[in-house]
Amino acid sequence: MKKKIGLIIFMLLSLGIFLYPQYEQWRLDRNLNRMLENGQYEEIYNLLLPEIRENQIDKESKKYYYFLVSLYKTEKNSLFESRFSELIREKNVMVVQRVIDYLGDELIKTYVNQGKTELLLSLIELEGLTFNEDQGYYLSRFIFNGLYFFENEDLIKRAMDLRGEREEIDRIYLTYHYFFGDRNKAIEKYPLANYHCQNTFLGIFFNRWYQRVYSAIYFDRAEYVKELIQEIEEWNQEIEKLNSGILKSSFISNFYRVVNSLK
């Protein structure tokens, strides 16, 4: 009987020793999460800094995520950016996702405004990362506004993916569908876009046609204009089927104004 009692006590002690570190980790996570919810970022930073200095915190752990948030929120931006960029390079999707989920809206807008192009592009290209609707739309506009946009077809497709299923007809929708998706969708929806969007798309359209001129060793301008007019007339025919003359008139007149300047 005494042996059985001793065995039970031994097993309970062993179990306690085994579970105690997990309990301590759970308690610490709970405490850090509470501090995060209360905005105690400086306290989190001071609490975790000694372990960070001794390299005692695994990058995969929640503690590292808490530390990153504390860096950003206490405006230690250079330290945050270097560590965050390192996680992206290492393709540490889990921790990057945690940071995006908590800081994403503010972080993305700040980096776009600061022109952090390299970091944002690496973030966009990280496979497995997801963004909410607002983050995705903001990133899609960042891609579209960049000079590299026209040189990278994959980025155009990625911009459309990040844009999501929005009802608004914007330049991303028109550009993607005309050049890579369903061209008829672009033709049909063009008149529903606002005036600025329509003009922007015209600029994109002619920019891509001009690229053919720049890349050609020999170029027949007359033939180029002829082919361009033919494509415009195809648009004209499609729009006549779908919309009123008022809606299509500015569209066609803008096209022909540019074409005439090429003759």
Task: Give 174-227 pLDDT, tens digit per residue.
Answer: 888 888 888 878 877 887 888 888 878 877 877 776 656 555 556 666 777 777
Identify whether 222 is part of a domain.
yes
Instruction: Give residue 155's pLDDT.
Output: 84
Identify whether 45 is part of a domain.
no
Q: Whole-angstrom Cα distance, residue 191 to residue 198?
A: 8
Count how many domains the chain has. 1
Instruction: Give residue 36's pLDDT.
Output: 82
Identify whether 92 is part of a domain.
no
The domain in which residue 223 lies consists of 190-263
Identify whether 146 is part of a domain.
no
CA angle 125, 126, 130 (to 5 degrees): 105
Identify whether 160 is part of a domain.
no
Using 50, 70 and 90 to split pLDDT, how confident is the model at 16?
Answer: very low
Maximum alpha-carbon separation in the chain: 106
